[in-house]
Structure 1
Amino acid sequence: MSSFRQFVWDPTLLISQMICLQSIFYFVQTILLISFGFVGYQPFLSTIFALQAQRLMAVIQLISTIGVSFGLAKIVQRAKQCLDFACTAHVFHLILVILYNQSFPTQFTWWILQIISVTICTVLGEYLCMRFETQEIKLEGGPSRYDL
């Protein structure tokens, strides 16, 4: 039985996609922290893995979530899998926060920030994936080099 898009479980592909999305998440946060460093804010690694939700860090995390949404559209390319990848990226972030601080985050605002971040990442990622999936397929190419 054949279908249009048959799903083949490929652990190497899944792991590499997760590493790529996690890298985008922390890369955008790092770039934003460094750019805020030019206007007087002192960037520290501890602000990325903080147990408290600070206002500037919340903005930075939400912007990096938007970056991950674009990564979902380009790397995963499936609207059905956006929720899975967004939740997995934030669970890995939770694990890294716990390992960095050797403590579990208990602040209510930190958890609200994570829920908002997952929601934005999923909804925007699904929207972008659906936009890419519904684009026209160009059947006619440019002029061929064999045309006279």
Structure 2
Amino acid sequence: MFYGAVVWDPWLIISQIICLQCLYYLTLGFFLSIFVGSRISRMSLIYFFDFSTITASTVTGWCAIVAFFLSSVAGAGFMLYLIERAKKCLDFSATLYIIHLFICLFYGGWPSSLTWWVVNLTCFALMAFLGEWLCIKRELREIPMTRLRSNV
């Protein structure tokens, strides 16, 4: 992909949003099954979308918080390969967490827990900044130059 040419491709943007959202929920499910699944008898969507499960007063709540943080770190890694541009990482992170907020609204109502807001805003910032940092590191790599002529 050539980065100099600015091309408006809404299908690419929509597909990147869908891929990033799906990968985020897959990794969140993976980490929730590892951390929370070992503590409860049956996993459900309540741990993904209900604000009451994100609590600092129980060990299971702390396990869910750790799963959310690890999935945001993984999301930053996904942005490195899906988005590839540092200046787009903030937009895609915000889109991911806004979509997550709307899903949580439909699933469990307005999140009234301060812990839920702190965790999700911190995860959003972590994903955006770490994704930007990773993309900047990739963008600033030295371009390898091959020899045009060999000394034969």
The TM-score range, normalised by the shorter chain, is 0.7 to 0.9
Partner Cα separation in structure 2 for residue 5 and residue 91 of structure 1: 29
1:48 and 2:48 aligned: yes
Counterpart amino acid of 1:88?
T
Change (3 A) 1:37 1:121: closer
Task: Output aligned runs, 1:19-98, within 5 Å.
Answer: 19-36=18-35, 39-42=38-41, 43-52=43-52, 53=54, 54-98=61-105
1:139 and 2:145 aligned: yes
Counterpart amino acid of 1:49?
F
Counterpart amino acid of 1:115?
L
Listed as ranges, the gaps of 5+ residues in structure 2 are 55-60
What is the identity percentage for the equivalent residue pairs of Structure 1 and Structure 2?
Answer: 30
Q: Moved runs in structure 1, 4+ residues, more than 4 A? A: none
**CA distances 1:93-139 after superposition (whole Å, capped 9, x unpaired):** 001111122x1111111111111011100110000000111112222
Shift of 1:41: 3.4
Change (3 A) 1:37 1:58: closer
How many residues are treated as equivalent by the alignment? 139
Q: TM-score, normalised by structure 2?
A: 0.83
Change (3 A) 1:37 1:65: closer
- Contact 2:35–2:64 (8 Å) recurs in 1: no
Partner Cα separation in structure 1 for residue 98 and residue 64 of structure 2: 18
Counterpart amino acid of 1:105?
P
1:16 and 2:15 aligned: yes
Partner Cα separation in structure 2 for residue 40 and residue 76 of structure 1: 35
Secondary structure of the residue that 2:51 maps to in structure 1? coil
Name 1:145's counterpart in structure 2.
none
Which shifted more, 4-13 or 128-137?
Answer: 4-13
1:109 and 2:108 aligned: no
Partner Cα separation in structure 2 for residue 126 and residue 14 of structure 1: 17
Counterpart amino acid of 1:113?
V
Shift of 1:38: 6.4
**CA distances 1:51-90 after superposition (whole Å, capped 9, x unpaired):** 1223221110110001110111111111111111001000
Q: TM-score, normalised by structure 1?
A: 0.85
